[in-house]
A and B are shown apart, each in its own frame.
Chain A
Amino acid sequence: MSEVNTPNQNLTRRDFLKLTWAVFGGLALLETTGIFLAYLQPRLADGEFGSILNVGTVDKFPPNSVTHITNGRFYIVRLGDGGFLAIYHRCTHLGCTVPWDETQQKFICPCHSSEFDRQGTVKNPPAPRPLDLFPVSIVDGNVMVNTGAPIQRQTYETAQVVYP
């Protein structure tokens, strides 16, 4: 390409035209690819999943409970100390819906038998990281969950818990 940038007597008119064709042809190709990809971008309608959900008052969830909120695709986990977590029910391995097993007190994925404790921490692979969280906020005693912003995490930390 240095030939192009430095003035060069050897650049004939034919070469120049060839180069022009190549540059503009390449640009046109890039634009077409861009349009194609933009056209195929996910088109999400404003719906139940992806918005902020009000799942009810704080006292609806007793300590040490796990409640499946199916239309929001998450679990409300209330820990023994009263703290809240909203855990996305999608397995971090390959995306299956993880049911809560009340007798074993674990999330057990039916697809590849990954296991998670009530904080979402991996207890048994192949899941590579804890279950994702949704941001929880407590407004006037109501538990609000933002399902539009899943949080990926590598470990469980107490800072993730929200207290009323």
Chain B
Amino acid sequence: MNDDIPEPSILDRMRNRLTPDELPTDDRGRMRMVVDSLVLHLHPTKIPDRTLRWTYTWGLGGLAAVLMTILAFTGVILLNNYTPSAPQAYLDILKLNDNVWFGELIRNLHHWSANLLIIIAVLHLIRVFVTGAYRPPRELNWLLGVAMLLLVLGANFTGYLLPWDQLAYWAITVGTGIISYIPLIGNWLTRLILGGPEVSGNTLLNFYSMHIAIIPLIIFGLMSYHFWRVRKDGGLSIPKSLEESETGVEPKMERLTTIPNLVQKELLYTLVWIAVILVFAMLVQAPLEGIANPDISPNPAKAPWYFMGLQEMLLHFHPLVGAIILPGLAITGIILLPFLDINPKNVGVYFRSRRGRALVLLAAGLSLIATPAWVLMDEYLLNWNGWLPTWPSLISNGLIPLAVISLPLILLDDWVRKSFHADTEERVLFIASFLFTAFVVLTIIGIFFRGPGMALYLPWNMPASSH
């Protein structure tokens, strides 16, 4: 030991153990740091400059992970002020809002992050779909993503009941009513989920354990798997311009070190979003209505907003068709996509091709007109039940309208194939854009245009609801 260098103090020694003396200044050191770090080693040491493009991924997957983290932290501390029993649960929420320091803020943060997560997860799915990034070798990660989206919906739905207010009680009554239409096992399954014949304290306990333990555990497991698969599949898909895709020129790429190029962007993005969510949660209260009352259904009784598209379909179809067959087909289609659409050529090109871009606009435009037109027609003109009074409602109000709306869709597909010479992947894009736009339109109609008795109203003309 040289006498010229003073012995480091115990504080210095502790600090040196916890943080590196200085940040690396050369690429080699930066890459070393990524490999050596528990958190950072999720990333490769170097990444293609193109995947850093803000307008390619929009940071949606990362934002979903940030939201999950906010939800985990706020969720865990909310447990300290909550009893999962009826009616105490509702009283606890009142107490949380009025008597607990920052209680309302934590609840708002949890509530709005959960709602935002649904939107972000769906946008993430759409981004991966329209850039063809689910194609081989990324099929498995697409499936993991779809599974997580469904679990996020499940987490939102189970969390919706916990405040035990009128909103919660009836949204869950209607939502679980849908499950009872699953053929053969529907009634048994509904009873199992509800823990009895109707939404009760048993339901609250069931939903509580799903919401705070089972679903989050599965989601965090799948998240780790999802991130790991991104690395195993060779990182993000590489964005390409139309010209590069058409001429077949391989894009020139430079590989940049993860520190600071990616990490800096991630930190900035995270901080901005946390700020946005915090301000939003301070300004906008999470809804809370009167205590749950099984004797009085509010008018209108609406499902959570993300299920309003589904509820809107229930107004037009027999529940077996509207709530089981159609969503079942949609989910099956989403799951099968990466196994049907395997062309590796234009991965990374938004909307596949020039024709693809035109077709998406066409599909969205057509759907924006056709969907409201169909809703209005079904509301005021069509009356299958009345016209076919002796037929079972599953046929008159289910299969017949299903056939009636399928026919134009098949004709449209045929038209696009013949007149635009669209190939299979462009037709898939066209139909998917049409159906997704239709679902968004139905959701908007359900949220903003449905009033008492589920009749259609203009949003600025909406009569007050009764509770």
Contacts and interface: CB of A to CB of B under 8 A. Distances in A.
B397 to A, nearest CB: 6
A72 to B, nearest CB: 11
A43 B296 contact: no
Contact of A111 (B294, B385, B454): B454
A44 interface: yes
A112 B198 contact: no
Contact of A112 (B296, B315, B385): B315
B330 to A, nearest CB: 20
Q: Which of B174, B191, B297, B385 has the most CB of A within 10 A?
A: B297
A97 B295 contact: yes
B154 interface: no
A17 interface: no
Interface residues of A, number: 30
Interface stretch (A59-67, A77-85, A88-96): A88-96
B295 A70 contact: yes
A10 interface: no
B196 interface: yes
B141 to A, nearest CB: 28
A108 interface: yes
Contacts of B299: 110
B173 interface: yes
**A interface secondary structure, majority:** loop
A125 B397 contact: yes
A43 B299 CA distance: 31
A159 interface: no
Nearest to B298: A110
Interface string B312-324: 0011011100000
A35 interface: no
Contacts of B454: 111-113
A25 interface: no
Interface string A96-107: 111100000000
Given A42-B196, A44-B196, A90-B198, A126 B173 contact: no
Given A112-B314, A125-B397, A93 B173 contact: no
B257 interface: no
Contact of A94 (B191, B206, B295, B314): B314
B198 A95 contact: yes
A97 B296 contact: yes
Given A93-B177, A94-B174, A110-B453, A41 B295 contact: no
Interface of A: 37, 40-44, 49-50, 68, 70, 73, 89-90, 93-99, 108-113, 125-126, 128, 150
